[in-house]
């Protein structure tokens, strides 16, 4: 039989155990029963500025639950380095405030090096959505061994002398090649159908109260853009030669009702240098995964132009979309205000009001002389 003292010890043990369990599992209980809190209550709190008391909970508006409607199988994709953190935070905060706090789509971050804990902590602070961090396989990022380095070095030197932007950069070329032909192959993206590419240091000017992913899905769109412009010819001197060679060898892969008139003024004889600015893309990953684009990218890659010249992912994606999709499947997101220095799309008129846009409507690149939007419009004239 147990003595009364043993009962007392047993009860105290149970109480202490419950205290520790509740302290770890219930944050508010842990704070309320902490030694520092108890000492304040019984011994008086130390003098402190009023703001340290915080704002009482009853002043806060309850957070609305995630949208319970239909959702597409989609994700945001951000290619970034640890050093891009401040720019990433700026872009991501705007994505959340303008759109994703209502729709709660996940994020995939990709980097050729492991993300730091600081990077992970700061971006996870910005959203309640799922975030995955992926490491890019080395073979998908670095310059291939079969590239003639002497030839590539000479090409970079020549571009530097001609003051071509990023002309001397190998990492920039790695990025262009990765975005052109490898990002959609990453293991973290295999489960998704649609993606929205976001870059550091960009602005989203307008509220978006509809789901662009569902628009793409329901209307069978495969590629969406906000800004279109001309590429620097000095970066792609032989790109169109390679494109024509591929078309001639694979005419069956080219979509009959395509957008060739966006990229060529003479039926494909020459390239007019127009492209969709790919730092903003909302797209169907199956476009890039398909037979036509897969063969197209592999063909271009074997030419070595990403390193012997400075082929960008913008013209490569744009040409691919123009050739392998129907023109109606390429969508201009006229209502999404967006800026990537030095160009911006600012919605006009009623769209500006509807989106509560904060960009200046007079600062709009759509029909400036260097824009290609008129050529896109003419596809449907």
Cα gap 108→75, rounded to integer Å:
7
SS3 of residue 77 by DSSP: strand
Tokens of 191: 């489960």
- Tokens representing 279 are 């730092």
What are 229's strand-pairing partners?
Answer: 275, 371
Taking a C-beta distance cutoff of 8 angstroms, is the pair 141, 111 a contact? Answer: no
Cα separation, 348 vs 338, in Å, equals: 13
Tell me how far apart the alpha carbons of residues 333 and 219 are, in angstroms, rounded to a whole number.
13
CA-based angle 340:183:80, to the nearest 5?
A: 50
- Active-site residue, from 199, 231, 281, 309: 281
CA distances from 82 to 53, 92, 132 (A): 35, 15, 15
Coil, helix or strand at residue 279? coil
139 is catalytic: no
Alpha-carbon span 289 to 118, nearest angstrom: 34
How far apart are alpha carbons 151 and 157 in whole angstroms? 10
- Are 275 and 318 within 8 A, CB to CB? yes
CA distances to 126, 189, 249, 282 from 131, rounded to whole Å, are 11, 12, 42, 18
List the 74-79 sheet strands across, edge first. 131-135, 107-111, 74-79, 194-197, 281-284, 223-225, 330-332
Cα distance between residue 367 and residue 22, in whole Å? 63
If we measure between CA atoms, which residue out of 352, 217, 340 comes closest to residue 278? 340
Q: Which residues are catalytic?
A: 281
């Amino acid at each position: 039989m147990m003595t009364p003292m043993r009962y007392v010890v047993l009860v105290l043990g149970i109480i202490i155990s419950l205290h520790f369990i509740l302290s770890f599992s219930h944050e508010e209980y842990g704070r309320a029963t902490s030694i520092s809190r108890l000492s304040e209550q019984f011994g008086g709190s130390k003098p402190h500025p009023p703001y340290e008391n915080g704002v009482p909970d009853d002043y806060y508006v309850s957070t609305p639950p995630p949208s319970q409607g239909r959702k597409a199988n989609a994700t945001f994709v951000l290619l970034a380095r640890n050093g891009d953190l401040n720019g990433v935070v700026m872009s991501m905060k705007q994505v959340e405030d303008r759109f994703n706090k209502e729709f709660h789509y996940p994020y995939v971050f990709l980097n050729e090096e492991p993300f730091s804990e600081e990077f992970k902590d700061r971006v996870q602070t910005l959203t309640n959505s799922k975030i995955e961090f992926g490491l890019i396989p080395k073979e998908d990022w670095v310059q291939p061994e079969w590239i003639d380095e002497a030839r590539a070095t000479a090409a970079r030197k020549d571009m530097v002398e001609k003051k071509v932007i990023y002309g001397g950069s190998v990492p920039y070329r790695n990025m262009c090649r990765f975005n052109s032909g490898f990002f959609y192959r990453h293991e973290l993206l295999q489960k998704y159908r649609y993606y929205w590419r976001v870059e550091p240091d960009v602005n989203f000017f307008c509220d978006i109260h509809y789901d662009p992913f569902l628009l793409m899905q329901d209307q069978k769109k495969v590629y969406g853009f906000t800004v279109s412009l001309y590429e620097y010819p000095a970066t792609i001197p032989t790109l169109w030669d390679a494109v024509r060679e591929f078309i001639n060898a694979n005419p069956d892969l080219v979509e009959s009702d395509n957008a060739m008139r966006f990229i060529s003024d003479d039926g494909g004889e020459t390239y007019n240098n127009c492209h969709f600015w790919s730092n903003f893309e909302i797209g169907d990953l199956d476009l890039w995964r398909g037979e036509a684009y897969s063969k197209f990218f592999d063909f271009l890659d074997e030419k070595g132009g990403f390193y012997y010249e400075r082929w960008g992912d913008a013209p490569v994606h744009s040409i691919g979309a123009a050739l392998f999709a129907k023109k109606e499947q390429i969508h201009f997101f006229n209502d999404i205000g967006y800026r990537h220095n030095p160009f911006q799309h600012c919605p006009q008129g009623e769209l500006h009001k509807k989106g509560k846009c904060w960009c200046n409507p007079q600062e709009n690149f759509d029909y400036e002389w260097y824009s290609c939007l008129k050529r896109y419009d003419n596809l449907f004239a």
